Amino acid sequence: MRSSFAVDTGLKLARSPNARQVAARRRLAIVAAVLALGLAGGLLGVFTPPHDQAAPARTGPFSYFPTQ
């Protein structure tokens, strides 16, 4: 049986959202933020030119010391 206090008329914006709607909106905002960050990183990687393709970067435990 429905409560007589339940609001089912009026504008949707005038009613406060319930906990389920707030949680869904929060999840959607987090997913959108992660996707936007990934897209921004991908675009930055595509449009950033490489430093030098002839000499690949050396990485390793001794790459910080100069060699002769």
The first and second tokens of residue 23, run together, are 């949680």
The number of folded domains in the chain is 1
Give the domain range for residue 34: 18-47
* Residue 31 located in a structural domain: yes
On whether the CB atoms of residues 13 and 5 are closer than 8 A, the answer is no
* Residue 25 located in a structural domain: yes
* Residue 32 located in a structural domain: yes
* More confident position, 59 or 58: 59
* Residue 12 located in a structural domain: no
DSSP state letter for 56: P
Residue 17's contacts (CB-CB under 8 Å, 6 or more residues apart) are: 25
Residue 44 has pLDDT above 80, yes or no: yes
pLDDT in tens, 24-39: 999 999 999 999 999 9
Cα gap 60→44, rounded to integer Å: 26
pLDDT at 7: 61
